[in-house]
């Protein structure tokens, strides 16, 4: 509200997909995050629609927004340090852009990426 003016202009809602997109962009901006893991359905959506938030679950609760995501990390990265940086980046960016209180950023490390390793 510019100049401290308060005027009722109507309502504004921010879709969960927007919150998820902000979280995904923030997560992927941290070196060592190879990608966000997605479910089969999320993978199809990502392929056809190029949805950047595929793989980020958003839950609005009484204490604030709870975010859940699974990531694939680059081999050799210190996982506790990386996940802390990801949580911090997601919380700060999402709060700054949306104004919402982020109560939790829950991360599961789903896998490790190494370019020379194959499961075959």
Q: Which domains does the chain have, with CATH numbers?
A: 13-113 (3.30.70.1350)
Per-residue pLDDT of the chain (120 residues; tens, 9 = 90+): 556 667 888 998 999 999 999 999 999 999 999 999 975 444 444 444 555 556 899 999 999 999 999 999 999 999 999 999 999 999 999 999 999 999 999 999 999 999 887 664
Q: What is the CA radius of gyration of the chain?
A: 16
Residue 38: what pLDDT? Answer: 78
**Cα–Cα nearest to 71, from 42, 113, 103:** 113
Predicted TM-score (pTM) of the model is 0.80
């Amino acid at each position: 509200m510019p100049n401290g003016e308060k005027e009722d202009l109507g309502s504004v809602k921010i879709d969960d997909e927007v919150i998820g997109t902000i979280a995904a962009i923030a997560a992927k901006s941290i070196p060592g995050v190879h990608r966000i893991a997605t479910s089969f359905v999320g993978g199809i959506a990502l392929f056809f629609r190029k949805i950047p938030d595929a793989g980020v679950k958003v839950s609005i609760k009484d204490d604030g927004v709870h975010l859940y995501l699974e990531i694939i990390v680059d081999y050799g990265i210190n996982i506790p340090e990386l996940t802390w940086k990801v949580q911090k980046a997601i919380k700060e960016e999402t709060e700054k852009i949306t104004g919402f209180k982020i109560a939790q950023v829950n991360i599961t490390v789903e896998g490790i990426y190494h370019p020379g390793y194959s499961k075959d």
